[in-house]
Amino acid sequence: MRDPLDERVGGLPEAEEIALVGVPWDWGITGRPGAREAPARIRAALYSMRPFAPDWGRLERKPIDLGDVRIAPGDWGVTGRRVRTALQNSYESRKLTIILGGDHSISEWTMSPLLEGGTLGLLLLDAHYDMRSTSEGHTSGSWLWNLYTRYKERLRASIVGVAPYANPSYLHERALQAGFQVVSSIKAMRDPDSWREAVRLLEREGLDNYYISIDVDHLDQAYAPGVNAPSPLGLTPTVSLEIVEEAVTRLCPKGLDIVEVVPAHDIEGSTVRVSAVIVLRALQVYAEECL
């Protein structure tokens, strides 16, 4: 079909204030590898979508695509330095940087430049706490604990979407002891005021910068089968979009990442497409509320 009026996101003019960066790294995954393929897949799905929605209007501009950070396979030190440098440069020149992962360990690198320069409020959508401390090796399940132990009071966080029966109890206790707000997936679905308060709590902190990290496994496995650690009883995409809309509107984040998509385990590209929709909606809300 050839329709000259069928406009796609990829054909929009660029927004100088917003950047898009890929980090195709998945050496922190202990479950299902393959998240390194996600940046290219999510980017392609995003660019193929239409910029118009009947209820939301039209996205006018797309981000400036800075491409992917050059990964040193298996080398945490080299890759980490490259990611931190790339993000520092983007934060200094753009109002918002959207990062396509990769496994969730990349968030330790992408958030570090913002924490070095001041305080940071994090809204984390995740089925897990990511606050493990392991006896050996690296894991994407410890990045938040690493940041907290390094920066302490500079980092404030609200974790929304924690799945039932998916985490050791010590992680829940650890998150609360760190002063983080925790809203389970069950509570978020049954009581929308709970996640709204978690977002507003960060807003009231009046921090230097804000960041939204979206681990796609916070969605129920029926909607997002292609993730590293799929979980039942997660959020629906509709609820997730509501949370992202509220957070972007209130926090106007400096950074936003979407991580843990594993295309090799996806079903008909459904996880990739829902991830692209979340990014697209975040872009549109940011353009309307924060620019």
pLDDT at position 138 is: 83
Q: How confident is the model at residue 223 (pLDDT cuts 50, 70, 90)?
A: very high
Mean pLDDT value across residues 1-6? 87
| Separation CA 32–CA 227 (nearest Å) | 8
Q: Which residue has the tokens 């308060």?
A: 197
Tell which CATH architecture fits domain 9-132+144-289.
3-Layer(aba) Sandwich (3.40)
- The tens digit of pLDDT for each residue in 265-282 reads 999 999 999 999 999 999
Closest by CA to 258, choosing from 104, 40, 68, 55, is: 104
Residue 172, number of CB atoms within 10 A of its CB:
16
Mean pLDDT value across residues 45-70? 97
34 and 266 in contact (C-beta within 8 Å)?
no
pLDDT at position 134 is: 84
pLDDT at position 77 is: 96
Side-chain-facing half-sphere of 280: CA atoms under 13 Å: 27
| Separation CA 123–CA 188 (nearest Å) | 14
Can you tell me whether residue 20 is helix, strand or coil? Answer: strand
Work out the mean pLDDT of the chain and round it to a whole number.
96
Mean pLDDT value across residues 90-100? 98
Give the 3-state DSSP-derived string for 82-146, with helices as H, strands as E and coil as C.
HHHHHHHHHHHHCCEEEEEECCCCHHHHHHHHHHHCCCEEEEEECCCCCCCCCCCCCCCCCHHHH
pTM over 0.95, yes/no: yes
Side-chain-facing half-sphere of 239: CA atoms under 13 Å: 25
pLDDT at position 137 is: 77
- The tens digit of pLDDT for each residue in 145-204 reads 999 999 999 999 999 999 999 999 999 999 999 999 999 999 999 999 999 999 999 999
pLDDT at position 79 is: 97
Is the model's pLDDT at 117 over the cut of 90? Answer: no
Burial annotation 141-163 (CB, 10 A radius, 16+ → b, else e): bbbbbbbbeebeebbbbbbbbbb
| Separation CA 183–CA 206 (nearest Å) | 21
| Separation CA 122–CA 158 (nearest Å) | 6
288's tokens: 């309307």
pLDDT at position 29 is: 82
Closest by CA to 62, choosing from 247, 280, 278, 291, is: 280
Mean pLDDT value across residues 229-249? 97
Nearest 5°: the CA angle 261, 264, 269 is 70
